[in-house]
């Protein structure tokens, strides 16, 4: 039997089942912070995952993964609302979790990343567009991000007040913390 995660002919429900199977291997216990999820993916892929908000081209995907020698940097469009940034990070993290081969943009040093200017990111984005993920990989990442989101949401709701604005404020604060804690070194 072909692995639905890697074959082009897999239907949506088949893909979804396969993705759920992998997500079932991770812990989704409350409060299900983004950092905890990234830690678990780090343990599976062997590389620390750093987060870097930066300006990205408008027509791009909103995020990309840059692979360096010692870590993986998920760059996320800093102009997106924070909840959307979290979704983008889950999408990019899914590419990592499922072992999709992204594009490594040379080996950026810490200094270069600190100064990551729009041109560098534009170059990276161009590479991603040219050598990027396959259509199946994009589909898997999108399904996985949606399922991660709903699992995290369910876990968080189970411990948080129902008041929506408070929950959103908390989610924003948590997200800001995750960004700070995961700055590329």
Among 52, 64, 140, 141, binds Zn ion (CB under 5 A): 141
Q: Is the peptide bond before 106 cis (omega within 30 degrees of 0)?
A: no
- Name the residue nearer to Zn ion (CB basis): 138 or 170: 138
Q: Which of 123, 177 has the CB closer to Zn ion? A: 123
Least Å distance, CB 138 to Zn ion, is 5
Question: How would you list the strands of the sheet with 71-77, edge to edge?
Answer: 48-54, 71-77, 63-67
Could you tell me if 175 and 34 are in contact, meaning their C-beta atoms sit under 8 angstroms apart? yes
Give the count of residues interacting with Zn ion (CB under 5 A). 2
Choices 4-12, 14-22, 80-88, 131-139; region in contact with Zn ion by CB under 5 A: 131-139
Phi/psi of residue 144, each to 5°? -60, -40
Name the minimum Å distance from CB 122 to Zn ion: 17
Pick 86 or 174: Cβ nearer Zn ion: 86
Q: Are 103 and 136 in contact (CB under 8 A)?
A: no
Looking at beta carbons, which residue is closest to Zn ion? 141
Dist. CA 65–CA 71, nearest whole Å: 10
Residues at the site binding Zn ion, with contacts judged by CB under 5 A: 138, 141
């Amino acid at each position: 039997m072909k692995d639905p995660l890697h074959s082009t002919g897999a239907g949506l429900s088949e893909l979804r089942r396969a993705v759920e199977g992998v997500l079932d291997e991770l812990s989704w216990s409350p409060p299900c912070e983004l950092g905890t999820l990234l830690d678990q993916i780090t343990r599976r892929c062997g590389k620390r995952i750093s987060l870097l908000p930066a300006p990205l081209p408008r027509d791009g995907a909103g995020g990309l993964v840059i692979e360096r020698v010692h870590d993986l940097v998920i760059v996320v469009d800093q102009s997106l609302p924070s909840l959307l940034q979290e979704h983008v990070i889950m999408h990019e993290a899914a590419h990592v979790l499922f072992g999709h081969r992204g594009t490594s943009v040379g080996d950026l040093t810490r200094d270069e990343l600190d100064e990551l200017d729009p041109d560098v990111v534009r170059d990276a984005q161009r590479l991603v567009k040219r050598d990027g993920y396959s259509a199946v990989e994009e589909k898997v990442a999108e399904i996985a991000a949606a399922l991660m989101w709903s699992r995290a949401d369910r876990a968080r709701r189970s411990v948080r007040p129902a008041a929506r604005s408070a929950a959103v404020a908390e989610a924003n604060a948590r997200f800001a913390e995750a960004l700070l804690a995961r700055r590329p070194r």
